[in-house]
Chains A and B, each alone.
Chain A
Amino acid sequence: DAGVIQSPRHEVTEMGQEVTLRCKPISGHDYLFWYRQTMMRGLELLIYFNNNVPIDDSGMPEDRFSAKMPNASFSTLKIQPSEPRDSAVYFCASRDSPVNEQFFGPGTRLTVL
């Protein structure tokens, strides 16, 4: 298995633009997590899904952020409109049970100018 796949790896955009980050979890994993990492706040959980259903989105910072998981092999995190303070590395992770190891993707480095 190729592991968790994220795209794009780097995204530079201007304030006000829509940004869509993509994630393909490991096949067979039924939990998917979206995290944001910054120097100041570390790694923060934004939202997680179980069997494609959003379970907890309490970490989503504002209504500008939305996440979907239309099927077991694909998820998106959308920011509309983007702001400079959204600049961070966004990680997707998946796991196959409530207690097992999370496997992280390589991340998307987002820069909003």
Chain B
Amino acid sequence: TQLLEQSPQFLSIQEGENLTVYCNSSSVFSSLQWYRQEPGEGPVLLVTVVTGGEVKKLKRLTFQFGDARKDSSLHITAAQPGDTGLYLCAGGRDQKVTFGIGTKLQVIP
């Protein structure tokens, strides 16, 4: 059983479409991070959210941390082929980070 459940696991969309991916847990985290991983590389941090209800924007990406600090969402506006990759959420507690399995996104030109 995964501590962090991500959905959907796979997503294939056309360039220009909007999408939202979700990260849910029954546990409370002190912080939540989103990473993007490309084939053959390690994950790269996109954002960290620490306050319940917090919203952060990174260009076309919008990240939200749930009020209870148990869930998060990532919304991408007007997706581009360069957004293709594995999106991982990770919950931080006690100096450790626990990762979800990820959402594999493919953006078709």
Contacts and interface: CB of A to CB of B under 8 A. Distances in A.
A44 B98 CA distance: 7
A14 interface: no
Q: How many B residues touch the partner, as a band?
A: 20 to 34
A38 B17 CA distance: 29
B101 A107 contact: no
Nearest to A40: B101
A51 to B, nearest CB: 13
Contacts, number: 46
Contact of A56 (B33, B88, B96): B96
Interface stretch (A62-70, A71-79, A80-88, A91-99): A91-99
Interface string B1-44: 01000000000000000000000000000010100000011111
Interface residues of A, number: 22
Contact of A4 (B31, B33, B42): B42
B98 A101 contact: no
B98 A45 contact: yes
Contacts of A43: 43, 88, 99, 102
B48 to A, nearest CB: 7
Nearest to B95: A98
Interface of A: 4, 31, 35, 41-45, 48, 50, 55-56, 91, 93, 98-99, 101-102, 104-107
